[in-house]
Structure 1
Amino acid sequence: MTASDRIWQAQLRAHWAVLSARRDTAGVATSGLGILVGDEAEILAGVDARGDHHLLVPAGGGALVVEDSQAAYIRIQRCVLTIGGRGRTFVDIVCHRADLSELFDDVISSMLTELATDSREQPAVVCKRVLDEWRELLRRRGGLLGEDALRGLFGELVVLERILAASDTYDLSVWHGPDREPHDFRLLGGDLEVKTLGMAGSMVRVHGIEQLEPPDKGDLHLIVVRLVADHDGLALPDLVERIRPKTNDRRAFAAALARAGYSETDAEHYRDRRFMIAQVAALPIGDDFPRIAPSSLVDTLPDEVSALSYNLDLSLLLPKALTDAAITPLFTKGTLS
């Protein structure tokens, strides 16, 4: 996400607040965004009687407006508004879901950044191309998250939020879980691997012999996040929405979530699964830690053995784990002194 995108996000929030206060049943309340296109007509922000947000880009010169209604939440359509007693045709990019307003701001900020630069493309073509790019970016791989995947992603986001809150040294680039790398987080002093447990569980699943192998430089800690189902707790979309403003690149955050199997357009599917974060604990992975790893093997695995995974019982280890404030240095530097 560019600096220009972030500037537009801030400006759009100000426009929506003013326009929402001005909206009525007569039509669309609009305000200019300071970008001229086509026949020197200004791009507008708009809020209609329902409260839906619109980006209105002058079509100009009778240009063809290619409408796009592939999704119910963000659409491109043709509209005609009467401005100064004259009917004007606009490319209307509209969001019909209030819960996706921040995502909509991200999408149209990207559009505005491109529309503000000199381009040979017609404004309508620019808008369609940017929307298609975002759709591809947000397209999750596979179906909706299952229970284990949902809890796993929830646990990683709990840790990501704490890392971002604990230190201004790190940004979203420390999170490697969505890319299926051996360790979920790579910090300056070492790596973190995250596992999620339920209320009374102690068994975690280890995937591959590299997952509990420390990096070449630095330490490895196993971070255990214990989640308890709670109707008044936090849903996965709530956690995503809480973290998004803290990231340095909201577009990259959306892309990472999509690689992890989560799309913000599916948020409503996950809102009934709510958790209380009962515990966050850290276990250092040393030579005496029970595991199957390259450094603990007498010889390499036979070529015929692949995709090895196993269960690890942490019941005797968790009482000795680091918890609460003792973990904070781990999130700031990646290692404990």
Structure 2
Amino acid sequence: MTATFVETWRALRTTRPVGEDQIQSAAIVHDNAETPLRLAIDASGDLHLLAPTLGPPRRPVPPDYNGLRLRESRLDEQACLDLCSPAANEKMFAALCDELVEAIVIERRDPWAAAIAIVRAWQSAWRPLRQPMSRPVQIGLAGELLVLQSLWLPALGSEAVHLWSGPDRERHDFVSFRLHMEVKATTRSRHEHDISRVDQLRAPENRRLLFASIQLEESVMGAQSVCSLIDGVMDAIRHDPAAVDGFLTKLDSLDWSDEMRRSPDLVRFHIRDAQIFEVDEEFPQLPPDFTMPNGVLAIRYTISLANLPYLDVGTVREDIAQAVAP
């Protein structure tokens, strides 16, 4: 039933609840009959398996382990166990749930005893394999997500996710047939950015290149983080399962994990300013005929965008929409 569980969560994700304590759920079917067990998804996107119980567990439940959590909860006013996992572990969590459902429904085992034993056996599979996302990576990702949420999604809808190329290590962070966009985020007090590729400010022939400059102010009381921005994008695209899957795949390639939500390494910030520039002959960049000298393998330089004219946001959205129009 592993594949069925994954399909159910993805279907529930399209109508994910908004309220913090709300969940969207569906009954688990076995032998063409509904069981009392349910699969669910909450407002933050976490996955749940809910199983009715006769009361609290008689043994201590295993501690949280890299996002895998076992809790006592309520299901339709009845006591239940709540097994929960971040969406990033969807397929592995589905296999775990399959084993637990078989133990409860087919083998008639006590739900708490089965859950505690199975979770303990699976905890080694939840061993963290990734280091927390570094500060520079979070700052860069925040800039791209802000641009995706404020420019590309309003202009194109959920299809914009497929044009976000930053996670794919392409030259520019957004790529369409007639328009590219490079995004740089900084915590400096001025629109100054480091450029580390000779061709980063060059557009392919017959295509425009825009440059988005995002200024962030780090603060322990910051209203934004990569978590809040990811949630904002998910809310905008949750009606489109293909876009959701593509978005989660791109985040995975950046080593994103839902554990960052609880990590002390999570960077919080305020948005200080954001401007969009046309990369033209007045834009600061290396000469078009510049080539790397023999023996020089890499180059890094800093540009300042002070006093450059910037574009109107509404106009940029229109340009994005027209750039992909047939």
TM above 0.5, yes or no, is yes
Between the aligned residues of both structures, percent identity stands at: 20
Q: 1:178 aligns with which of 154, 167, 171?
A: 167
SS of 1:167's partner is: helix
Code of the residue aligned with 2:27 in structure 1: it is L
SS of 2:148's partner is: helix
Q: How does 1:1-337 map to 2 (within 5 A)?
A: 5-9=9-13, 33-36=27-30, 42=35, 44-45=37-38, 54-55=48-49, 71-74=65-68, 94-95=83-84, 100=86, 103=87, 107=90, 111=94, 140=130, 142-146=131-135, 148-162=136-150, 163-168=152-157, 170-198=159-187, 200-229=189-218, 231-247=221-237, 248=240, 249-269=243-263, 273-292=267-286, 295-297=288-290, 300-317=291-308, 320-334=309-323
CA deviations on 1:150-176 (whole Å, 9 max, x unpaired) are: 221111000011211232373311111
SS of 2:316's partner is: helix
CA–CA distance in structure 2, aligned partners of residues 285 and 188 of structure 1: 17
SS of 1:280's partner is: strand
Q: What 5-or-longer segments of structure 1 have no aligned partner? A: 21-30, 58-67, 78-91, 116-121
Q: What 5-or-longer segments of structure 2 have no aligned partner? A: 41-45, 52-61, 72-80, 99-105, 107-113
CA–CA distance in structure 2, aligned partners of residues 210 and 195 of structure 1: 15
CA–CA distance in structure 1, aligned partners of residues 315 and 269 of structure 2: 23
Code of the residue aligned with 1:7 in structure 2: it is A
Residue of structure 2 equivalent to 1:80: none
| TM-score for both structures, normalised by structure 2 | 0.64
Code of the residue aligned with 2:142 in structure 1: it is F
RMSD over equivalenced CA pairs, Å? 4.7
CA–CA distance in structure 1, aligned partners of residues 206 and 8 of structure 2: 37
CA–CA distance in structure 1, aligned partners of residues 92 and 266 of structure 2: 31
SS of 2:195's partner is: strand
Code of the residue aligned with 1:151 in structure 2: it is I
CA deviations on 1:24-69 (whole Å, 9 max, x unpaired) are: xxxxxxx9725215x978371179xxxx975269xxxxxxxxxx98
| TM-score for both structures, normalised by structure 1 | 0.63
CA–CA distance in structure 2, aligned partners of residues 334 and 260 of structure 1: 27
Code of the residue aligned with 1:280 in structure 2: it is A
SS of 2:11's partner is: helix
Report the alpha carbon displacement of residue 276 of structure 1 after superposing the two structures with TM: 2.7
CA contact (8 A) 1:202 1:313 kept: yes
CA contact (8 A) 2:284 2:305 kept: no
